[in-house]
Amino acid sequence: MEQDRNLNPDTDDLPLCANTNHILVRHYVLDLTVHFDRKVVSGSVVLFLQPCSGVMTRPQDGFEFGAREGESTQEAEKSQHAPLCSFQEVNTIKDRATDLDLTRVGTAAVDLEGPAIKNREGLVNATGENIQSSHWCGNTCDSDFTLVLDCCDLAVSKVEEVDVTSVPAMSSHLAEISSERTGDSSVSPQAALIQNVISMPSSQWRQQHQLFSQCTRAPGVQDGSSLDFYTDRWSLQVRKRGISSPQEFPRVLRICYETRPTGGSVRWTKDQDNRVCVYTAGSPINNRALFPCQEPPVAMSTWQATVRAPSECVVLMSGEEQAVPIGDGDTCFLIWNYYVTMPMPASTFTLAVGHWLQVSAEIPPALEKELKDRMDCGKRPKPGAEARTEAGLVSSLGSSTTEVVKDSTVQTGSGDQTTRSDSALCYSSLEDERLPVTDYSGMVDDGISCSHGDYPCRFTEQSAGSQRVIPHRVFAPVSLLQKAQIGVLPLLPRCLAAANAVLGVHPFPRLDVLIVPAGFSSLGMASPHIIFLSQSVLYAENPGSGEGTLSLCGSRLCHEIAHSWFGLVIGARDWTEEWISEGFATYLEDIIWALAQQLSLQETAEQSDLKALLRWRRLCDELQNSEEELQILRPNMENTGQVSESGSSTVKHALNPDKSFMQVHYLKGYFLLRFLASQVGEQQFSEFFRLFVKKYHGQLILSQDFLRMLLITFPDMARKGLTLSAIYADWLDRPGIPKWLYERSAVWSQARLVEEVKAEVVKWILLSQSQGKGRKRKRMEPKVNYKEVTSDQLVMLLELLLEEADLSMATIRTLQRTYNLQNQDAEYFYWSLSSSGYVHLLIQLLFIWHCILFTRLIYEIRGYILTSSERQSDIAGVS
């Protein structure tokens, strides 16, 4: 990423430029076309705006999704008569987030073809920045109000005000407003109309969306005035001459633009079948290079999206109903429509377009018994079970684009439509098997009183409360259809049912799972209604690993499903507090996966201790090889959640390349939750999670919201010295490892599953010594009775063996054959074994070169610790 002049060169913070304390986007309507030939997305986004009635710079507890005019829950009740904002400093839009001064910009004309925007003299702007603008200074003055949006790598061609009064469907609303506004000229008809639509009750959301959609087709305002805009590296600013406050600013804007092939929000690539595709890649800059938006998480909004894509492609997106594509006239494109009714941050908008097929729910008879055996007994599938032709796979496992949508609508979860999805019945025999349902009701009152703003909430729907498994589909390229069928489809309903048993109502009405192209930067990524899953977690032949053939896929699914509750329906108010999302999902992953496996309490505890030890080792390595400032879970400390007067802020260290490969928020956050569970009891802690979800669903939180409610619910914690300040000091506001974690790791290292691994390690060391250096290799290797190990035990075994100074070539070959290491994915072992700084280089040798050159280099790299930057380059090379 190029160095930007708007950023302090000594920092790596990401600016969130949008002035959300002044004005908020309440609804987006996107109209996009995907061009694979040029690797761009073109089209428009229409913004429906609402000015704020107050400024909030300090964090408030439980900021609600959909709170009126950007206010906290506490402020909403008294906001009706709140004073308007003061805008003395808006003239130059200069604050600590962006350090911009708009008064420096000259007149410029847009040149979408060139690498830079030129001014009238044909010269690049004096600042050297990539500038696009209308006649900014000529038409506006310093006293004009400026709308600031987060925007990056977009070619904006036009910004215009939409004339919503010309929409026929608005006539009845206009007449109603006119009668109410007799004698009041302070609010324009345009503003009054949009406020009326935005304020419609959630029970009328379909009518509301129809009005939004019709407004987007209206022409621009023809009153002689115009909107002027300016873009820099991180933002788009819009002004209207003579408008000095957000209350006077236009309420509906249309922005025409085009993405750039190198834009950081989307990735243009090829799938495993070498066919073109594009998807939002979970970039640190979020979606600002896909459409101009308000990035701060407090800017909660709903959206509708129309996407045109080649007819042979499937379009998957965050949306509450499964889209049924329609033809686009005589073109070779299909049109896909999606929408959401729950207000969420713009960063959660997710898009994927490619030549994927839906994985069929029917198992070929030859595979059905093998699948059942492995699920129940951990047996290896019969040889040849995967030897199927591509044509056979397409016919028996996949569906074409048209078959995907045929007779396959989905229940909306909005209470006004009940429909059907064939894919929701996939593996019904597994779905209908009775999972042990733990009673978490305990202290929790089953009645739910929503504290968020008005939207169609599933938590209050009776039908949603009884829905253990939501409708779901799985998509993959042809070459991975069978692996997805064996490794994902049977696990998905189990994991969904287990998550429901642990956390309660599913926040979203449906779920798609997509196997993304190779090189995806993580094992998975959760968004509303869709999960991206790496091919690395798919089933691979692994004799001797028992349930391990499905363990990685199952645990990763549980992790991403847990994000539906923590990360999406409950979000972090300040993005620097990533542990609220990742630490919670890592902790819940183990609980949900154990329930999905139907483990006993003892088996659950043993598996949990083994995973804890692996994570402890990983955390120790990461803290030893990273900067201390990147190890803090609450880097803004007492300033967490605070923003500037305009609402802009920064995400600390978000652009640091090392941070992308760090797991401290996952691991240290996970251990903090284990520590808290140990203080109140695991059963009681699980009950508290459900109580917390019921209270805070649909809201944004800070660490203090969770911890304060916990301390109030369990007052005995204070008598143990566990105060809010003590938890901050030990876990959140400082680097390093708390004392409790050191002590607990000694207990985990003596767990039964760990002792079994240590016994196996001794066998391998003895074998290596018997085949030691200088001895001629024997034709017959000594017979050793190696114990079958789980996938987590195998990871631990390899870690411990890699700590040995000497391993013979013969031992490495035997290790490879015994555990079939060449069939394991190098990506999986990188993520699993990253507790050793030099492990990734070893893994490349062990799994790419099948260990042949391993022993020749092990002494050279012994003790070599990769720096973070070296580790990043190595990862890029492998992926």
Give catalytic residue positions.
560
DSSP lists the bridge partners of residue 419 as none
Q: Which structure tokens are listed for 463?
A: 């039908």
Q: What is the CA radius of gyration of the chain?
A: 28
DSSP-assigned letter for residue 193? H
541, 545, 521: which is closest to 533 by C-alpha? 521
DSSP lists the bridge partners of residue 293 as 150
What's the CA gap between 488 and 520, in Å, rounded? 18
Non-local (6+) Cβ contacts of 586 within 8 A are 559, 615, 666, 667, 669, 670
Residue 717's H or E segment, with its range, is: helix 716-719
CB 21 within 8 A of CB 645: yes
* Runs of H (alpha helix) within 336-389: 365-377
282, 269, 283, 280: which is closest to 305 by C-alpha? 280
User: Taking CA 338 as the corner, what is the angle to CA 336 and CA 344, rounded to the nearest 5 degrees?
Assistant: 150
3-state secondary structure 409-453: CCCCCCCCCCCCCHHHHCCHHHHHCCCCCCCCCCCCCCCCCCCCC
CB 320 within 8 A of CB 510: yes
With both helix axes pointing from N to C terminus, report the angle between 491-503 and 548-562 in degrees, rounded to the nearest 10.
Answer: 40
What's the CA gap between 776 and 773, in Å, rounded? 9
Three-state secondary structure call for residue 400: coil
User: Taking CA 814 as the corner, what is the angle to CA 811 and CA 818, rounded to the nearest 5 degrees?
Assistant: 140
What's the CA gap between 155 and 42, in Å, rounded? 9
Non-local (6+) Cβ contacts of 189 within 8 A are 165, 174, 177, 178
What's the CA gap between 137 and 748, in Å, rounded? 66
CB 212 within 8 A of CB 164: no
What's the CA gap between 463 and 461, in Å, rounded? 5
Residue 44's H or E segment, with its range, is: strand 40-51
Distance separating the N- and C-terminal Cα atoms of the chain? 19
DSSP lists the bridge partners of residue 774 as none
CB 484 within 8 A of CB 400: no
Whether the CA torsion 170, 173, 178, 181 is positive or negative: it is negative
DSSP-assigned letter for residue 847? I
424, 470, 413, 696: which is closest to 568 by C-alpha? 696
3-state secondary structure 115-184: CCCEECCCCECCCCCCCEECCHHHHCCCCCCEEEEECCCEEEEEEEEECHHHCHHHHHHHHHHHHHCCCC
What's the CA gap between 479 and 490, in Å, rounded? 19
What's the CA gap between 709 and 381, in Å, rounded? 49
